[in-house]
A and B are shown apart, each in its own frame.
Chain A
Amino acid sequence: MLGNETPRNDRATAIAPVSVSVKVDGVAFRYPHFELAPTSFEARSGELLAIIGPNGSGKSTLLEIVSGHLKPLSGHVHLDGEDLHQLHPRQRAQRVGLARQETILLFSFEVREFVRQGRHPHLGRSLFESSDDERWVDWALERTNLTPFANRRILEISSGEFQRAVLARALAQRPRLLLLDEPTANLDIGYQIEMVSVVRHLAASEDFVAVIVTHELNLAAELADHLVLLEAGRSLAQGRPEQVLQSELLSRVFRTPVLVDQNPSSGRPRITWVAP
């Protein structure tokens, strides 16, 4: 896409092995009314891992811990062998991108300015972006199909476009671990599929790990390589979609009868509601 240049301040571990991995090891947390039991999982670069589960099962808490932002009461999160919670926030932001629901701003930025903030962790001492930084911003806008919107005001675009801008900003960070919390909440089905597909393709081509928290079970079934199913703060099942998405298990966990069969066009599991 951008030729052979790799911006100088990226990819510090240039001679590391091709495959990046994130290892979540026994992380636990406790809120006054909720407890996340020690949870572990792993994912490799090029892979999309989906965390699914009913409301209140601890998905967002787990994601916060994996992002390095919430310090777990026990356990570790290792990215490329580095403990994320031992890193300085700026170092962490150079490695981990997070895209989630955001509040509406009272200040107007152009979409490009908004996405450009993703370069902040890489600016170092400089107050201004370099031409390399601008190139990554252009790349992120292009990958999320936002180039035509680059000069529009962030307050004037639709919520779907705004969500893509949030993703673009996280991509502009050039992370090794990309986390998405309900990224498809305001998107129509076309954009839902497009966004998650793009993330999965980029995870492979740009060599990062993508972890997504989602309510869209069919999206996860179609596009994720691994699933982690949480219920009430515990990991109930992990593995490939066919292994985790079982009718009985899902019906119990989501408190409603569902049928899991196979999508004839893709061979992936398909979850449908069973009418009473």
Chain B
Amino acid sequence: MKVAATRRNALTLTLILLVGLMVVALSALSFGGVHLPLGEVWEGLRGNASHSQATTIIRGIRLPRILLAILVGAALGVSGTALQALLRNPLADPYVLGISSGAALGAIIALWVGGRVAAASPAAAFAGALATMAWVYLLGRRAGRLASYTLVLAGVVTASFLSAVILFVLTLLSTRDVRGIAFWLMGDLSVVTDAQLRVLLPIVLLGVSALYLFAKDLNVLLLGEEEAAHLGVNVARVETAIYLLASLLTGVAVSVSGAIGYLGLLVPHLGRMAVGNDHRTLLPVSALGGAIVLVVSDTLARTVVAPGELPVGAVTAVAGAPVFIYLLRRTAG
């Protein structure tokens, strides 16, 4: 292991990454179509009425967006890590069990039925995510309990099926509405309300903390279900809990920001390379690392073609793929 999994190391890592996240977030507040020096950023954060431009930009646009990036990045990083352990597969990502397809379908149906107003609400997407979660769970059971092998098959089959249904529904929509679908396929952090953030924050904090409580069980699960059972783990209960928590985190993240790709796969691997496979250090690294990566990606998305904007999923893919290839070559060599 790169970093011994002790209480002290876990705390130290968490603190270091928290500081790093704050630095990154402050820089992100500064960059954009309009560059705001740190002094202005501070005034904007305080809501100083005499610095109205700063206040509008910071409070109205950038701060919510960056907060969203932090929460979604953490949620996807942790969810990807947990699912890789649950499925005992380093190639698993948060979307392999069909959650993102289900959320997208929920939103698209809302769009079709209720128009753009209905589609703007994450509720329909979340409903789609929940329904998919329940469906895959029931489908993926074997002898009445979760088995990672059947679970991943159930997820992949469901995801493919839902993607086909999504394409079908898309052809029935007018092209005017279809433009909003790029949101789902690529992810977008620009549309978020304070109310959504207020709901998202406790869910992500609780979900990530709850998964951390399972950190030592996740370690043992990596050995195999039978081996974990022989070491005293209640495999059925632990797997169900991890499945629910990881799916919940993915579901809420995707509901408000669409399917941002690569993050849930890349961040856990970066974490593994940095600290090893022990979840007691890996989970905090995945959470905060995911937050940092997404804030950086989003900042790039906002600034690279300013005043225009790239979808953040495009940035994570374009940047993520080469990084991944580089990592692959390095570990293979």
Contacts and interface: CB of A to CB of B under 8 A. Distances in A.
Contacts of B224: 102-103
Given A120-B216, A127-B215, A127-B216, A105 B223 contact: yes
B5 interface: yes
Interface in B223-280: 223-224, 227, 229-234, 272, 276-278, 280
Contacts of A121: 231-232
Given A102-B223, A128-B6, A89 B234 contact: yes
Interface string A85-120: 000011111101010001101111110011001101
A58 B272 CA distance: 41
Contact of B232 (A94, A103, A107): A94
A109 B277 contact: yes
Contacts of B216: 120, 123, 127
Nearest to B217: A120
B61 to A, nearest CB: 40
Contact of A128 (B7, B234, B272): B7
Given A127-B215, A128-B6, A107 B229 contact: no
B222 A105 contact: yes
B233 A120 contact: yes
A120 B232 contact: yes
B195 interface: no
Interface string B1-22: 1000111001000000000000
A103 B272 CA distance: 21
B53 interface: no
Contacts of B229: 69, 89
Interface string A68-89: 0100000000000000000001
B1 A90 contact: no
A67 interface: yes
Interface string A120-150: 1101000110000000000000000000000
A89 B5 CA distance: 25
A94 B233 CA distance: 11
A69 B331 CA distance: 38
A90 B233 CA distance: 7
B89 interface: yes
B90 A107 contact: yes
Contacts of B277: 107-109, 113
Contacts of B233: 89-90, 120
B222 A98 contact: no
Given A105-B223, A107-B277, A120-B231, 8 more contacts: A107-B88, A107-B90, A107-B272, A113-B277, A117-B219, A120-B219, A127-B215, A173-B231
14 contacts: A69-B229, A90-B232, A105-B223, A107-B222, A107-B272, A108-B276, A108-B277, A109-B1, A113-B277, A120-B219, A121-B231, A123-B216, A127-B280, A128-B10
